[in-house]
Structure 1
Amino acid sequence: MLQNNKELKSKIDQLWIKFWSGGISNPLTAIEQITYLLFMKRLDDLDIKRKAEADLTGEAYTSKFEGKWLPIGMHENEGNYVEKEILRWSHFRHLPAEERLQHIQLNVFPFLKALNGEESPFTYHMKNAVFIIPKPALLVEAMSIIEEIFELIEKDAIEGGQAFQDIQGDVYEMLLSEISTAGKNGQFRTPRHIIKLIVELVGPQFGDRVADPACGSGGFLLGAYQYLVTQLVKDSKDLKLDEDGFLRGSVSSQLTKEESDILNNSLYGFDIDVTMVRLGLMNLMMHGVDNPNIDYKDTLSKGFTESDSYHIIMANPPFTGSIDKGDINESLQLSTTKTELLFIENIYNLLKMGGTAGVIVPQGVLFSSGKAFIDARKILVEKCELKAVITMPSGVFKPYAGVSTAILIFTKGGNTKNIWFYNMQNDGYSLDDKRTKLEGNGDLQDIIKQFKKRDPYKDKDRKAKCFFVPKQEIIEGKYDLSISRYKEEEFEEIVYEKPEAILANLKDMERVINKELAELEGLLG
């Protein structure tokens, strides 16, 4: 896990200080500018890698840097076109400082903004993006540190078995940990190993439409893409278990064009923060999704009209936010402005009949007695097959927050008969602010194993880590889904000696001590 790499953390700190001292003091602005540089570097690296793979396999590949490009505002004559080859990071990194800054401002950044064509979501959301690094010296220093960061990431990927690396997400997470705005409005980046766990539990299939209605930097969508690519090429010898025990591989080059096109049109994300939309778009593009479908939309508002659209939804919606009552989508019937409840209903609405969701919620959603909380849980139990409630320890979202959370796995339109509970106690990382990787993978792989072989006729021992609870018992408890209500704690009876015996033992000990003290005094004369 990259956040445990002290050397990389040091480089991120250096980068942060350079931007701060270089005049970009707004933290989110700095993050956005750093992200643009990461994107430029990753785009060049990925293009070179894909071209080499195509040459090896004999397949056709058209480089994004092939041909000529007309800078915006220039007239169409031969002298105004520039070769796309000079827009690569590996080219302009050699230019003198002032020339480099001017080249990026006038040519490279405008080219990147229009990379996927005028009609693409990427181009639409990048149209107002600006490259505002003001000083040539800052640009040169930042590019040098970013190259060192990529070298460390490559080393970490090889040593940790991380064939797919959420480069932008990891660096973004490290930057966020430096600023006070981390976790604003209850938004926390979901740890990568928790994303992988949820993807395994919901099991998207090739061709499924997968969505995240509060996608942030696109972690769940990237996780789904990685999982699907791995399923398509799982016979490859390149695949191996990563540091969290999941099978993942970077062999997307083995996909046919048809498979790549289907995957590209399978992932959909929405967010209400335009910066996060840009981050999400670039994140997916840096990992092989050529034209991602991420849009700037408030999926809880009246302006969002989709329903019954997706086979799979995975999300970690904002926990503590609220929405203006007058702007709530009329299809949402829960009488509340709490986003954590509205998202549950919204996800239910967005799923196709038979579609499955994996959603992270604060544990208060599981047991709070307010009418809206009960009604939200009734949706899960009465209108869905609520397959699993997996409670997680409170340290999972540290250092951002110590809130206790749970994972809900449910299928729209199914029939809930029994609900499977699992009490996760260890996610493979320390539960303090450092989140250090521990030996083994904690409960992650056991959760997957037990979930796949769960049996309501066998898993009845409520003293165990996982067990089933019948639907009727849930209903009688006002749809309470907290594991503590149903789990039976096993107490070990400790038998103490009688007070008289304890007193006698103390007197014996005192006699021995007095005897030894008397012997010591005799030796001293």
Structure 2
Amino acid sequence: MSLASLIKRLQDIMRKDSGVDGDAQRLAQIVWLIFLKVYDYKEEEAELDDNYVAVIPEGYRWRDWAVGESVKEQMTGPDLLDYVNNKLMPVLGGNAIRDEAGHDVVIFDKTDARSLLVKSIMGDATNYMKNGYLLREVVNLFNEVDLEDSNESHEFNDMYEGLLKGLQSAGTMGEFYTNRAITTFAIDHVNPKLGETLADWACGTGGFLIDALRHMEKQVELGDVEGMKQLQTAVRGAELKPLAYKLVVTNMLLHGIELPNIRYGDSLSEKSLSDYRGNDLVDCAALNPPYGGVALPEDLMSFPSDLRSSETADLFIALTEKRLKQNGRAVIVLPDGFLFGNDGAKLNIKKKLMQECNLHTIIRLPQSCFAPYTSIATNLLFFDKTGHTEETWFYRLDMPEGYKHFSKTKPMQRSHFECIDQWWDNRTEIEDDATSTYKAKKYTFAEIEANGFNLDLCGYPTEEKVILSPEETMENFVSRRAELDKEMDDKLAAIKALLEG
């Protein structure tokens, strides 16, 4: 089954169901179904080892209720709806159900890490579908995908990534997805090594984490069992929103991570900033924190008073700087507001970052790189914990030739960053003669400090504006109106002459 066909058929079936209202609910419904199918497939693989202890209780695995040897043996209609709503969902959430004797029993009572992962996904999952026959059609569509077939497994993964992109059109959930071209470029230049750990404390659907895994997979040689084990613990993340959390966990399972190390909760209030040490620290970090988020009181209390910015994106910078190991490397996607902001906490965070880390590169991204979902101007800040900042390079990435803006049909590509790839290891200042500015330039710490730590230095051309007095403005208006009136009179006279002729 083709990717486009599977997605269209899922959408067509679920649109008929009165319980599913819009893209957000449709995605939420699909996510827990995908999770259970993928998890059961992974368990079947693991059961080849005689010592493996199954996580999901028998009778509640995908193979037990979603698959049947014949159509007659498949639960459907009201029976399927009753089973899903009153047995499957509460059991896998770790809740009690009523047995035949009328007693409340907890069937899924295990508390090991894998069991807790399943409970965290299914605990607040909701079956929105009200028609059991349509639910059976959806389940059977997923049964048509054979994850043992490498081609179909790859196609299924592509479908899943397509669903992740669909979040961008599902209201405010667009914050969960970051353009693949950006994540790949960022990870390439953070360059996580096999044996290191990369974290994203606002991971959304896991774009940075998956690209980091792919980057490190290339470093594993054929037959390297130890290298494959290192990949299992190579990335970690955290996510506050429940749907995004389910998406990233399933995404990690699809990419071969047996026990995804993804924390469900608010990274900013996990503990006091001064308490991070030991295993809390990581070798690399890559994240795109939510913009415009307002910090909660408990978030602010986790930070020193001089760093308590009201914007969550600012707090994520301070958190990342704190949780990097010595010689660690990081990249953060940030809006322009952080670059030129000079309120107390924002200014203190910039000072702390440059004094305790080497903020070596800031890449100004084209304004429409997140189009059509947002027009916020964004930047990539690369820094490492090798010492204080001595100089910072700024590079302005312009729209590629032939593009007026990026769009769904003409999205940003990894190849658009090749000019920076070529410049990265042999940095020179690049003047832009056409606009009397520059595309690349460096500033020393002393110059940035003298400029009040304003980091908005990426060389965008600006137009000089002439401010007129009220009297001059009125005179210009009257003069221009007289010119337009004369043009109109001349054209009317010409038309009248033609008609008389």
TM-score greater than 0.5 by the shorter chain? yes
C-alpha separation between the residues in 2 aligned to 1:398 and 1:115?
46
* Distance change in 2, residues 1:83/1:278 (3 Å): closer
The alignment partner of 2:354 has SS state of: helix
Q: Does 1:21 align with 2:22?
A: no
TM superposition shift of 1:42: 4.3
Structure 2 matches for 1:180-219, cutoff 5 A?
Answer: 180-183=171-174, 187-219=175-207
Kept in 2, the 8 Å contact 1:421–1:483? The answer is yes
Q: Among residues 154, 164, 175, which one is paired with 1:172 in the alignment?
A: 164
* Distance change in 2, residues 1:481/1:9 (3 Å): farther
Query: What is the CA deviation profile of residues 71-118 of structure 1, one whole-angstrom value per residue up to 9, with x for unaligned ones?
Result: 75xxxxxxxx66979349775796535189379835799679979973
Query: What is the CA deviation profile of residues 283-319 of structure 1, one whole-angstrom value per residue up to 9, with x for unaligned ones?
Result: 1011101111101121212646534611111100010
TM superposition shift of 1:478: 1.4
The alignment partner of 1:360 has SS state of: strand
C-alpha separation between the residues in 2 aligned to 1:115 and 1:166?
35
Kept in 2, the 8 Å contact 1:122–1:278? The answer is no
* Distance change in 2, residues 1:157/1:283 (3 Å): closer
TM superposition shift of 1:204: 0.5
TM-score, normalised with respect to structure 2 = 0.73
Structure 2 matches for 1:467-486, cutoff 5 A?
Answer: 467-484=441-458, 486=459
Kept in 1, the 8 Å contact 2:392–2:442? The answer is yes
C-alpha separation between the residues in 2 aligned to 1:83 and 1:360?
41
Determine the structure 1 residue equivalent to 2:265.
297
Q: Does 1:434 align with 2:428?
A: no
Q: Among residues 210, 217, 224, which one is paired with 1:229 in the alignment?
A: 217
Kept in 2, the 8 Å contact 1:317–1:361? The answer is yes
Structure 2 matches for 1:246-325, cutoff 5 A?
Answer: 254=222, 256-301=224-269, 303=271, 305-307=275-277, 309-325=281-297
Q: Does 1:377 align with 2:347?
A: no
Kept in 2, the 8 Å contact 1:398–1:435? The answer is no
The alignment partner of 1:228 has SS state of: helix
Identity of aligned residues (%): 23
- 1:86 is aligned with what amino acid? R
C-alpha separation between the residues in 1 aligned to 2:118 and 2:177?
25
Kept in 2, the 8 Å contact 1:360–1:406? The answer is yes
- 2:74 is aligned with what amino acid? P
Kept in 2, the 8 Å contact 1:390–1:423? The answer is yes
TM superposition shift of 1:137: 2.2
* Distance change in 2, residues 1:405/1:323 (3 Å): same
- 2:408 is aligned with what amino acid? K
Query: What is the CA deviation profile of residues 298-352 of structure 1, one whole-angstrom value per residue up to 9, with x for unaligned ones?
Result: 1212646534611111100010111133542433441421111111111111111
* Distance change in 2, residues 1:155/1:63 (3 Å): closer
Kept in 2, the 8 Å contact 1:430–1:436? The answer is no
Q: What root-mean-square deviation, in Å, do the aligned CA atoms of Structure 1 and Structure 2 show?
A: 4.1
- 1:292 is aligned with what amino acid? P
Determine the structure 2 residue equivalent to 1:513.
none
* Distance change in 2, residues 1:62/1:358 (3 Å): same
TM superposition shift of 1:358: 0.7
TM-score, normalised with respect to structure 1 = 0.70
C-alpha separation between the residues in 2 aligned to 1:91 and 1:110?
21
Kept in 2, the 8 Å contact 1:392–1:404? The answer is yes
C-alpha separation between the residues in 2 aligned to 1:65 and 1:126?
27
Q: Does 1:125 align with 2:125?
A: no
Query: What is the CA deviation profile of residues 465-524 of structure 1, one whole-angstrom value per residue up to 9, with x for unaligned ones?
Result: 33322222222211222234x56899xxxxxxxxxxxxxxxxxxxxxxxxxxxxxxxxxx
Structure 2 matches for 1:438-517, cutoff 5 A?
Answer: 441-454=414-427, 458-459=428-429, 461=431, 464-484=438-458, 486=459
C-alpha separation between the residues in 1 aligned to 2:456 and 2:62?
58
Determine the structure 2 residue equivalent to 1:522.
none
C-alpha separation between the residues in 2 aligned to 1:93 and 1:415?
67
- 2:112 is aligned with what amino acid? E
C-alpha separation between the residues in 2 aligned to 1:115 and 1:286?
26
Kept in 1, the 8 Å contact 2:65–2:75? The answer is no
C-alpha separation between the residues in 1 aligned to 2:37 and 2:132?
17
* Distance change in 2, residues 1:277/1:483 (3 Å): same
Q: Does 1:398 align with 2:371?
A: yes
C-alpha separation between the residues in 2 aligned to 1:93 and 1:467?
68
* Distance change in 2, residues 1:69/1:483 (3 Å): closer
C-alpha separation between the residues in 2 aligned to 1:156 and 1:433?
29
TM superposition shift of 1:197: 0.7
- 1:452 is aligned with what amino acid? D
Q: Which has the higher contact order (CA 8 A, sep 6+)?
A: 1
TM superposition shift of 1:421: 1.6
Kept in 1, the 8 Å contact 2:331–2:383? The answer is yes
C-alpha separation between the residues in 2 aligned to 1:190 and 1:65?
41
C-alpha separation between the residues in 2 aligned to 1:277 and 1:93?
35
Query: What is the CA deviation profile of residues 257-295 of structure 1, one whole-angstrom value per residue up to 9, with x for unaligned ones?
Result: 432322212221111223322221111011101111101
Q: Does 1:35 align with 2:31?
A: yes
* Distance change in 2, residues 1:218/1:87 (3 Å): farther
C-alpha separation between the residues in 2 aligned to 1:335 and 1:205?
33
C-alpha separation between the residues in 2 aligned to 1:64 and 1:279?
28
Determine the structure 2 residue equivalent to 1:98.
76
Kept in 1, the 8 Å contact 2:185–2:414? The answer is no
Determine the structure 2 residue equivalent to 1:86.
63
C-alpha separation between the residues in 1 aligned to 2:31 and 2:357?
40
TM superposition shift of 1:399: 2.5
Determine the structure 1 residue equivalent to 2:396.
423
The alignment partner of 2:369 has SS state of: helix
Kept in 2, the 8 Å contact 1:315–1:358? The answer is yes
Kept in 1, the 8 Å contact 2:429–2:439? The answer is no
Kept in 2, the 8 Å contact 1:269–1:293? The answer is yes
The alignment partner of 2:228 has SS state of: helix
TM superposition shift of 1:221: 1.2
Kept in 2, the 8 Å contact 1:87–1:108? The answer is no
Query: What is the CA deviation profile of residues 6-41 of structure 1, one whole-angstrom value per residue up to 9, with x for unaligned ones?
Result: x85675455345334311226434322201233344
State the aligned residue count. 431
Q: Among residues 355, 361, 366, which one is paired with 2:334 in the alignment?
A: 361
C-alpha separation between the residues in 1 aligned to 2:40 and 2:30?
16
Query: What is the CA deviation profile of residues 94-150 of structure 1, one whole-angstrom value per residue up to 9, with x for unaligned ones?
Result: 653518937983579967997997323523413514462443322233245557899
- 1:262 is aligned with what amino acid? Q
TM superposition shift of 1:216: 1.2
- 2:342 is aligned with what amino acid? S
Q: Does 1:388 align with 2:361?
A: yes
